[in-house]
A and B are shown apart, each in its own frame.
Chain A
Amino acid sequence: MATVELSFTALPAHVRTARLVATAVARRSGVDESLLDEVRLAVGEACSRAVEGHLLYCPAEPVRLALTESAGRFEVEVTDTCERGEDPAGPGAASSSAADSRIGAGLGIAVIEGLADDVEIRETPEGTSIRMSWPLAEAAR
């Protein structure tokens, strides 16, 4: 079982809460202070991506965040449960705000991959799970 699990309604306002919880648990687990900014940003990116997907395809379903300590690493898994189909607005029909957020969505994965040295993105028919991990400081093991 995860050390801490969080399940939240897919609303942008809750992404900040998810970031704060993940950073607090990472610190508590013994992730080095110098890595906490990376954890905060990567978790925020993964949760933003999940929230945006849920808002489009399944707003009633919650987004799940699991934080686990195992084998000297702090592991984060963000799971969404939306089947990504065609863009409901259709290609080219997007508003300017949707266009900006699509630029952001593409960058989101780039940011995650640039930040966490260990990332695994699994796309299944039921949704996407982003798993990433950081080392725990020696003293915390």
Chain B
Amino acid sequence: MDLKLDHHSKDGIEIVDVEGEIDVYTAPRLRELLIELVNSRFYQLVVNMENVEFLDSTGLGVLVGGLKRVRAHDGSLDLVCTQERILKIFRITGLTKVFGIHDTVDEAIAARRAEK
């Protein structure tokens, strides 16, 4: 399973659907997509990781890099993830405190709206 990337707008927020494995080989493609979205002035992002089968620190680095870029424009990058094996990696590295992590895309959007 390689990496599949897709994105669409929902309620003014750009949803990025990620499917497959995010590792040292595939992470550059996710990085390029996040940069491209920021360059196209999408600063409110939700990355849906429900179909991610594998995530390593290279992937974490790309997500943190994406967060830095949107924050430079007062934007946000939230995650959707309920898979224990993926959540564990965020917990070990302390990144659960850095990202908003939600159970569904709708919850992520609602939480973002409530903060505005």
Query: Do most interface residues of chain A lie in helix, strand or loop, or is the interface mixed?
Result: helix
Q: Which of B23, B35, B56 has the most CB of A within 10 A?
A: B56
Once A103-B64, A114-B92 are accepted as A-B contacts, the answer to whether A13 and B25 lie under 8 Å apart by CB is yes
Residues of chain B lying within 8 A (CB to CB) of residue A114 = 92-93
Q: What's the tally of chain B residues with a CB closer than 8 Å to chain A?
A: 22
A31 to chain B, nearest CB (A): 16
Closest to A104 in B: B61
Query: Does B33 make an interface contact (CB < 8 A)?
Result: no
Residues of chain B lying within 8 A (CB to CB) of residue A101 = 58, 61
A41–B59 CA distance with the chains assembled, in angstroms: 12
**Contacting pair A104 B58 (CB below 8 A):** yes
Query: Does A128 make an interface contact (CB < 8 A)?
Result: no
**Contacting pair B65 A108 (CB below 8 A):** no
**Contacting pair A104 B31 (CB below 8 A):** no
**Contacting pair A107 B24 (CB below 8 A):** no
Query: Does B54 make an interface contact (CB < 8 A)?
Result: yes
Interface residues in A3-38 by Cβ distance below 8 A to B read 12-13, 15-16, 19, 37
A45–B62 CA distance with the chains assembled, in angstroms: 15
Q: What's the tally of chain A residues with a CB closer than 8 Å to chain B?
A: 28
Once A37-B85, A114-B92 are accepted as A-B contacts, the answer to whether A104 and B54 lie under 8 Å apart by CB is no
**Contacting pair B56 A45 (CB below 8 A):** yes
Interface residues in A39-89 by Cβ distance below 8 A to B read 40-41, 44-45, 48, 51-52
A103 to chain B, nearest CB (A): 4
Residues of chain A lying within 8 A (CB to CB) of residue B23 = 12, 15-16, 19, 44, 48
**Contacting pair A110 B61 (CB below 8 A):** no
A99–B65 CA distance with the chains assembled, in angstroms: 8
Q: Which of B31, B59, B89 has the most CB of A within 10 A?
A: B89
A-B contact pairs, 13 of them (CB 8 A): A13-B25, A41-B56, A45-B56, A48-B23, A48-B24, A48-B56, A51-B24, A97-B31, A104-B57, A104-B61, A104-B62, A107-B93, A110-B92
Which chain B residues have a beta carbon within 8 Å of chain A's beta carbons?
Answer: 21, 23-25, 27-28, 31, 35, 54, 56-62, 64-65, 85, 89, 92-93
